Amino acid sequence: DTEVTQTPKHLVMGMTNKKSLKCEQHMGHRAMYWYKQKAKKPPELMFVYSYEKLSINESVPSRFSPECPNSSLLNLHLHALQPEDSALYLCASSQPSGRLYNEQFFGPGTRLTVL
């Protein structure tokens, strides 16, 4: 299985809502990533987990809270988001971040709209 899955595909939420994005991979990868992507722009790194531990937080606001329950799952908990947080949220996985290749495999993304 060489697939990264993400749910939901689309999400619309109000600024007071709490929601979660989910990501799953079964490739045996031990590094997982959350990216945010605005239209016509490259992905922006948010968080990196390596061996289920948070290794990089790119100064992301606390209204985004990542969680890695096990080596196959990655969640992103959302609370009190702003309209400017509307974007495509991408999950990716790779072999652990120490390797120089860092070939990342992406899920299809969650299109988030904050009203």
Partner 1 sequence: TQLLEQSPQFLSIQEGENLTVYCNSSSVFSSLQWYRQEPGEGPVLLVTVVTGGEVKKLKRLTFQFGDARKDSSLHITAAQPGDTGLYLCAGVFLSGNYQLIWGAGTKLIIKP
Residue ranges binding partner 1 (CB under 8 A): 4, 6, 40-43, 45, 48, 56, 88, 90, 92, 97-109, 111
* Per-residue b or e along 34-49, where b marks 16 or more CB atoms closer than 10 Å to that residue's CB: bbbeeeeeebebbbbb
Closest CA to 106 of 1, 12, 2: 2
79 vs 111 by CB, closer to partner 1: 111
CB of 109 to partner 1, least distance (A): 5
CB of 73 to partner 1, least distance (A): 17
CB of 79 to partner 1, least distance (A): 24
5 vs 18 by CB, closer to partner 1: 5
DSSP one-letter code for 41: S
- Distance (Å, rounded) from C-alpha 36 to C-alpha 46? 7
